[in-house]
Amino acid sequence: LRSYSPGRARRTNASRRAFLVARFGDIYAQERLEAETLLRKYISDMEMVQRIIYAAAVESFHAAKMAYRQFKIHVRETLSIGHSGPESLEDKVLDFIVQHEDLYGVQSSVNEVIRSMNINPKISLPPEIDFIVISTLIRELCRVAFSMQTLVPPLDISVGIDGELFSENKYHRGVESDFTAALVAYHVWPALMENDVVIVKGRAVTKR
């Protein structure tokens, strides 16, 4: 019997995880700020700008996770036809996805995010622009969210609710916050989670 050895995806898991956590931070520092600058040209209300960007992050992770599940099902069906050990089918599927992430149709996810944002009652845009103006942010978030699903365990974001109790473990307070307030008025950026444990804090604004 040939001894079992984990696939390449599992062997590179730690390095890929470190890269993706860093990339999530880079998106916050770069693409998020660029999106904020773009939106501020059309929207004077900073709260609305930040709500739009937060919604983009939440919807991007949702769309990318859905796309990953569909992609994985397709890959598993294809590889199961000729599969024989010693590597498990799940490891073989994961290896294939990691090596062929360029096959992810990210534009479909971007379109799905924009559709979802268009029907979100908490956000709105002036009639002269469309959420496509922040498509660079959405695309990068979808890409990193898709890649995070290939990790063992996968990474995800925590989706906050307006009015929730502010958690020091999960969020930094936004500069617009009332620092004595206990409740979150709105969210600026989601926390990054691994098995329900916060590994990168998000940002939220507290107000009375």
User: Rounded CA gap, 200 and 192, in Å?
Assistant: 5
Into how many domains does the chain fold?
1
Tell me, yes or no, whether 31 lies in a domain. yes
Report pLDDT for 89: 78
Tell me, yes or no, whether 44 lies in a domain. yes
Tell me, yes or no, whether 56 lies in a domain. yes
Helix (H) or strand (E) holding 199: strand 197-200
User: Rounded CA gap, 25 and 22, in Å?
Assistant: 5
Model confidence band, residue 134 (pLDDT cutoffs 50, 70, 90): very high
Residue 5 has pLDDT above 90, yes or no: no
Domain that holds residue 144: 9-151
- The per-residue pLDDT for range 147-198, each reduced to its tens digit, is 999 999 999 999 999 999 999 999 999 888 898 999 999 999 999 999 999 9
Tell me, yes or no, whether 121 lies in a domain. yes
Tell me, yes or no, whether 117 lies in a domain. yes
- In the structure encoding, which two tokens stand for residue 79, read together? 């590889």
- In the structure encoding, which two tokens stand for residue 106, read together? 């990210």
- The per-residue pLDDT for range 83-130, each reduced to its tens digit, is 666 677 788 888 888 988 999 999 999 999 999 999 999 999 999 999
CB of 71 closer than 8 Å to CB of 105: no
Report pLDDT for 79: 81
Tell me, yes or no, whether 181 lies in a domain. no
What order of strands is seen across the sheet that includes strand 197-200?
155-158, 191-194, 197-200
